[in-house]
Amino acid sequence: MKTRRCTVPALAVAAALALVAAPVASAGPGDVPGTAGAQTLTGTPEAARPAFYEPPATIPSTPGTIIRSEPAPLLLDPLRLSSSVVTATRVMYSSTDSAGRPIAVTGTIFVPKTPYVGASRRPFVSYAPGTQGMADRCAPSRQMAELVEYEGIGLTRTIGRGYAVGITDYQGLGTPGTHTYVARGAQGHAVLDMARAARNLQGSGVTSSTPVGLMGYSQGGGAAASAAELAATYAPELAIKGSAIGAPTADLASVGAKIDSSFYFAFATFAYLGVAQDAGIDPKPYLNSDGVALTSKVEGACVFDLFDYSFKDSRRYTADGSSLTELLGREPFASVVDEQRIGRRTPNAPVVINHAVADDVIPYAGGKQLGIDWCDRGTRVTFNAGITPTHLGGFLPHVEKSMLFFEARFAGLNQPSSCWRL
C-alpha cells in the first residue's frame, strides 16, 4: 500500500509505508471496541469519525502489524516541533484486547531527524497517555491535530532527547466502540504493540535491537506499568531497558474511593464504563434512569469536560442508591476491579516510580505499594516521592525524572534501588 508525501504546518512526515504481510483473523463480534461496526456500551451513537479511524473488516492477527498510515496533521503544532528535525506518522496497527481478540488501535510515531548522541543506538519510547476521555475525538492522535494535546509536554521532552517515540490511542479511543479505560490487559497490549508497530513502520529506524523504554503518567502510568509486567510473556522480543511510571492506577478500588463524587468524578465514571466494557458487563441494570442518561453523556466526554461532572453524588445515579464505590465493591464488578490490580506480575527490566505525596487523584499509598510489590518479586525499583502537591503538580517532575532514568538505562547503567526503604 502506498502513502503520499505531503507537507503540513510545522511537522512533515516520513513517506512510503508498505502494509506488512501477516495472517488475518475475523474482526470479531460487533461489541468488541476497535473492530469494524463496534457499538458503544451504552448504545449511544458515536459521532462520525475520519475514515482513517475505521477498522477494516478483518484485523491482522500478528500484533504490531501496520494496517495503514498517513502523515500526522499537527495543524496547531502544539509540540513546538519542526519538520526540519522530526517526522510524524499517524498509524493504525493491530493489537489484542484483554481476551486476546485482534483489534485495531491508532496512534502517532515520531522520529527525530537529528542524530542521537547517547551511549546506545537511538532508543524508542512507547509513551502511554494519561486520561483523555471516552469520546473518539479525545484520541491523542486527533487532539494533536484539532486541539492542544497536554501530553505534548512529555512528548516534546522525549523527542527532544533524540528518542523515537510512539503514543498510542488505546482500545476504542478513536476507533469504534467504548474505550476500555484503565483496563490493565488491553492498555498494556496497546503500549507494547506500539513498539512493535514502530519496528514495522518503514523509515522509522526502529529494529529488533533498538533499546525500548515504557513511559506514562496517571492512566498512562497504569498502562506502562501493565506493559512492563506483560512484556516478558506478551512481547519478549522487545529489548525493553526500563519503564518510567508516574502516579500509576495500580489499585482501582482505592482510586475509585478517592475520586467518587469528587471534583474528578468524571474519571470514576470513565472507569465504571471502561472496566464494564472490558469484562462484557452491561452497566445499565445497576443504574437508574438518571444514571443511564449520565453514562450515555459521558461516552461523548473528554478530559476537558471534567467540570461538567464535578462533585456529583454518585448515589443519585445507581438503581439501589449505593455509591459508585460500593457498587464496584460488589459482584459482578468486584472481581473485575480486582483483576485490574497491577503488581502481581514481574516487570522484565528496572523501573522508576514517581508519585507525589499529596496527589489528590491517585493515592500515593497505591504507588508506594506497587513499588513494594515489585521489590518483593525481585524487580529493581527506584521510587521517588514527589513534594509538588496535587496530581497535576506531579506531572512535570515525573517527566524530568524519567529523562534521567532513561539516559542511565539506555547507557546500561542503573539508578539506586529503593527497595531497602520501601
Q: Which residues pair with 112 in a beta bridge?
A: 86
pLDDT score for 115: 86
CB-CB neighbours of 337 under 10 Å: 20
- Cis check: omega of the bond before 112, within 30 degrees of 0: no
pLDDT score for 82: 64
* Residue 275 three-state SS: helix
Cell 542521537 locates to 116
Give the contacts of 378 (CB within 8 A, at least 6 positions apart): 346
Ramachandran assignment for 400, one of left (phi > 0), alpha (psi -120 to 50 degrees), beta (any other): alpha
- Can you tell me the distance from the alpha carbon of 171 to that of 97, in angstroms, rounded to the nearest whole number? 7
pLDDT score for 86: 87
Residue 121 — φ and ψ, nearest 5°?
-70, 165
Domain 252-339: assigned CATH number = 1.10.260.130
What does each C-alpha distance from 66 to 93, 136, 268, 354 come to in angstroms?
A: 4, 20, 33, 33
Give the contacts of 202 (CB within 8 A, at least 6 positions apart): 14, 16, 17, 18
Q: Where do the structural domains in the chain lie, given as residue ranges?
A: 24-251+340-421, 252-339
**What's at 231, amino acid-wise?**
A
- The tens place of each residue's pLDDT in the chain, 422 residues long, gives 333 333 322 322 222 222 233 333 333 344 899 999 999 999 889 999 999 999 999 999 999 999 999 988 765 455 556 666 889 999 999 999 999 999 999 999 999 988 898 888 999 999 999 999 999 999 999 988 766 688 988 998 999 899 999 999 999 999 999 999 999 999 999 999 999 999 999 999 999 999 999 999 999 999 999 999 999 999 999 999 999 999 999 999 999 999 999 999 999 999 999 999 999 999 999 999 999 999 999 999 999 898 899 999 999 999 999 999 999 999 999 999 999 999 999 999 999 999 999 999 999 999 999 999 999 999 999 999 999 999 999 999 999 999 999 999 999 999 899 999 99
* Residue 402 three-state SS: helix
- Can you tell me the distance from the alpha carbon of 82 to that of 62, in angstroms, rounded to the nearest whole number? 33
Q: Which has the closest alpha carbon to 173: 303, 22, 14, 291?
A: 303
For domain 24-251+340-421, give the CATH superfamily. Answer: Alpha/Beta hydrolase fold, catalytic domain (3.40.50.1820)
Residue 37 — φ and ψ, nearest 5°?
80, 5
